[in-house]
Amino acid sequence: MAAYGLYTHIASNKIKSMFLLAGLFLLIYVMVFAGALIAEVFLRGTNRTVAFYLTNAWHDLIVAFPWATAASALWIVIAYFFHQSIIDAVTGGHDVSRKEQPRLYNLLENLCISRGIPMPKLKVMETDAVNAFATGLNRRQYAITVTTGLMKELNDREMEAVLGHELTHIRNGDVQLMVVAVIIAGVVGFVAELFFRIFFDSGTRISGGSWSSSRGWGSSRSSSSGDSSDSKGGGAIVVLILAVALIALSWFLSQVVRLALSRSRELMADAGSVELTKDADAMISALRKIENRGELPGATSAVMEMCVDNPREGFADLFATHPSIDARVRALVTYAGGHDPGPMRSHYQYERDEAGARTDHPELPGGQNLPPGPWSEPTPPATAAPPAGPWSQRS
């Protein structure tokens, strides 16, 4: 479904979410069928025909169908209620209140009040990485997580722009689509890895003797039946290759599902931030400060795909989930009338003396200065002798 505006974009995301959930079940059934093929080879021996293995695996799938459906549904229920806890466990994010972060909390609250948006939870992740992301599947679960590095780098206008960006993801339904894609990729990736581990571990044991004994048993059975091709285990080899191919295909499709998160969603979120804040320059400046500094330590690729910027571009940029910062800035300059200050560097990248204190070299490439954010440690001003008061000692 093509999206030509905000409301059609939201409707498109809802439809995509339903298709992605259906895709989860389809991929699970493919994985179960592949597992049944492998099981048939090891349980029935290697002297059978390809048709025999396929027929029996199909019957196994029918028997396992309700169990696979129930397991998939259970995973969706668990992910629905506990995905935020899982993400927090991975990233280390924690809830903050107005008392703990009054300026940050007030910025988000003011944006929500100005547009009548329900206030999401506010979380902080302790890391020097400069990034933020939104999560949640419904109004009670929506949350925005910002890093301490982002708080140190950005001023109030820029922080408000980033919060507006994440609020737009929530308004547009992008967050739901991203979480559903993570659920699918996570469960399929887990099952695929489990299958491969079991298969290769079994293959190692079989090559040590069990496989040869199975082949010997199969050849004696097949000699009585007169089928020389089956005695060589050719049917079993074909079935095993097919099973591995199906598992690999399922894993690949689960990754493609994540690419259903169209890169246009980031451009729309940038535009939504400008619509909320009426400040294109702040969004551009924030993107320039985030550029190449958003790598979250220990975060999975699924979490990085939810962030304002994902520096993991993928092979030849074909699997990149985000447009480049240059492309996003160019769009804001062209369509929102913003001004591009050019690449910036972190205020942590200023020259420092041996004691770690920042020296007076505030110039940036292109002559642009990068003031630290309001939550960073201010540079102490130069001390000067106070003027003598009327009660000071006179010589």
Catalytic positions, written as ranges: 166
Phi, psi of 121, rounded to the nearest 5 degrees:
-70, 150
322 token code pair? 């985000």
Q: How many C-beta neighbours within 10 Å does residue 192 have?
A: 21
How large is the angle between the packed helices 156-172 and 102-115, nearest 10 degrees? 50
Counting every residue written for the chain, the total comes to: 395
Distance, in Å, from the CA atom of 127 to the CA atom of 133, rounded to the nearest integer, reads 14
Q: How many C-beta neighbours within 10 Å does residue 178 have?
A: 25
Distance, in Å, from the CA atom of 329 to the CA atom of 281, rounded to the nearest integer, reads 10
How far, in whole angstroms, is CA 322 from its chain's centroid?
A: 11
Unique residue bearing structure tokens 């960073």: 376
Contact 329, 288 (CB under 8 A): yes
C-alpha distances (whole Å) from 249 to each of 26, 188, 206, 235, 320 are 12, 11, 25, 21, 20
Helix, strand, or coil (residue 153): helix
C-alpha distances (whole Å) from 275 to each of 17, 228, 278, 335 are 26, 73, 5, 12
Distance, in Å, from the CA atom of 145 to the CA atom of 278, rounded to the nearest integer, reads 23
Contact 107, 156 (CB under 8 A): yes
If residue 133 lies in a helix (H) or strand (E), which one and from where to where?
strand 132-135
